Homo-oligomer: A and B are copies of this chain.
Amino acid sequence: MAADLTQLCPRFEKAIGLLSKRWTTLIIYRLLDGPRRFVDIETSLSNLSGKVLSERLKELEEAGVVLRTVYPEKPVRIEYSLTEMGRDLAPLMDDIQGWATRWIKIEQEQV
């Protein structure tokens, strides 16, 4: 009967809980290119609303993946960047990119 009592590694579960929320991976992917401002992220990911972006950035900051830096210039500038923990996700992103390239088919627009 013992179906499958293999416990999931709690760290793995927690990582998945963080990373697999909607938009999270795409936000991180954007930040791999370098620090970005709120609006830049918002406008570069279509359908991502400021509301959710704000939530995600808070979660990621809380988790230690993203760093929020305030530059006290004339009009204050706020930049979001990846911490070391965040940059360490780069190989993972490459894996997804590789897998996608190998397996994902895109339906062609009519030629």
By a beta-carbon cutoff of 8 Å, the part of chain A in contact with chain B is 3-6, 8-16, 19-22, 24-26, 29-30, 33, 36, 39-40, 43-45, 64, 85, 88-89, 91-92, 95-97, 99-104, 106
Contact A92 B89 (CB under 8 A): no
Which 5 A-B pairs give the minimum distances between C-beta atoms? A15-B100, A11-B100, A11-B104, A92-B95, A3-B40
Question: Which of B4, B33, B99 sits near A36, CB closer than 8 Å?
Answer: B4
Closest B residue, CB atoms, query A10: B106
Interface of A: prevailing SS? helix
- Knowing A3-B44, A20-B21, A39-B3 are in contact, say whether A12-B97 is a contact too (CB < 8 A): yes
Question: Which of B24, B45, B85 sits near A103, CB closer than 8 Å?
Answer: B85
With A and B bound together, what is the CA distance between A21 and B19 in angstroms? Answer: 10
Closest B residue, CB atoms, query A18: B104
- Knowing A92-B92, A97-B12, A104-B11 are in contact, say whether A4-B30 is a contact too (CB < 8 A): yes
Residues of B contacting A12 with CB < 8 Å?
A: 29, 96-97, 100
Contact A40 B88 (CB under 8 A): no
